[in-house]
Amino acid sequence: MIRDGQRVLLIHDGKEYYVRAGNGTLSTDKGIIDLNVLMDATPGETIETHLGIPFYIRIPRPTDFFSHARRTGAPMLPKDIGMVCALTGMNRNDDVLDAGTGSGIASIFFGGIAKSVRTFEIREEFAKVCRKNIEEAGLENVEVVAGDMLDAEGSFDVVHLDLQITEAHIHHAHALLRPGGYLATYTPFLEQTFIVMDTAEPLFTDVVCHELIGRELTRTKRGTRPSTRVSHSGYITVARKE
């Protein structure tokens, strides 16, 4: 069930090791683990070090890839990825086009939900990192394309764009979407957000731009208060094709 090259978490005593199944070993202060053995192991069970110490085997969840996967830059935050999923109603029947892949964190979340994800990353070296992350996540329904989303073909239920957006991207997204499908864009700056809103308005129905201000509530002996760590990150504009 675990494939060669797939990422696995090995857990012992509250410590997590993010390893790759296959040739290689993990050295810990509790002994050495042969990572080849993982391919015969069952997630949820344990594997032993050469000293006989058991380590728990866990298949990483998308949230683990957010923490551990190799990054090419700051990935979208889960709260923003969650907004895209919820506001488009992304589900198992969907073909999703994603562009501006970066390290592929959002693609990993989408890939765990949708029927298929095709993700475009114009920078070859980023596409390489993403492809590696996707492969390590064991997601066979995600295809990484090193190229320009403006060259994309096909038809999709959701188009998600996280890139230096232009009017052309919005027009092409519209052309690629099936009726009833959604465009969702992530734009950190207001100027880009205005381009999205103005271009989408006459093409789509229900163009709505969302801003999410996220905070954590902290609870200590001194008392409870919102943390001052804030997470404004960008604007998410959602538009539906009629």
Q: What residue ranges bind a second copy (CB under 8 A)? A: 9, 11, 14, 44, 56, 58-59, 61-64, 66, 78-79, 81-93, 109, 112-113, 157, 178-180, 182, 188-194, 197-198, 205, 208-217, 219, 222-226, 228-235, 242
Q: How far is the CB of 224 from a second copy (least distance, A)?
A: 5
Question: Which residue's structure tokens are 């895209």?
Answer: 84
Toward a second copy, which CB reaches closer, 83 or 99? 83
Question: Which residue's structure tokens are 């998308």?
Answer: 62
Q: How far is the CB of 9 from a second copy (least distance, A)?
A: 7
* Structure tokens given for 234: 């960008």
Toward a second copy, which CB reaches closer, 166 or 233? 233
Toward a second copy, which CB reaches closer, 25 or 46? 46
Toward a second copy, which CB reaches closer, 120 or 182? 182
Q: How far is the CB of 68 from a second copy (least distance, A)?
A: 12
Q: How far is the CB of 84 from a second copy (least distance, A)?
A: 8
Q: Is 33 within 8 Å of 25 (Cβ atoms)? A: yes
* Structure tokens given for 23: 């040739």
E strand or H helix that includes residue 133 = helix 124-136
Q: How far apart are CA 154 and CA 143, in angstroms?
A: 13
Toward a second copy, which CB reaches closer, 124 or 217? 217
Q: How far is the CB of 120 from a second copy (least distance, A)?
A: 22
Amino acid present at 186: Y
Radius of gyration of the chain measured on its C-alpha atoms: 20
Q: Alpha-carbon torsion 75, 80, 86, 87, what sign?
A: negative
Per the rule left: phi > 0, alpha: psi between -120 and 50, beta: everything else, 192 is: alpha
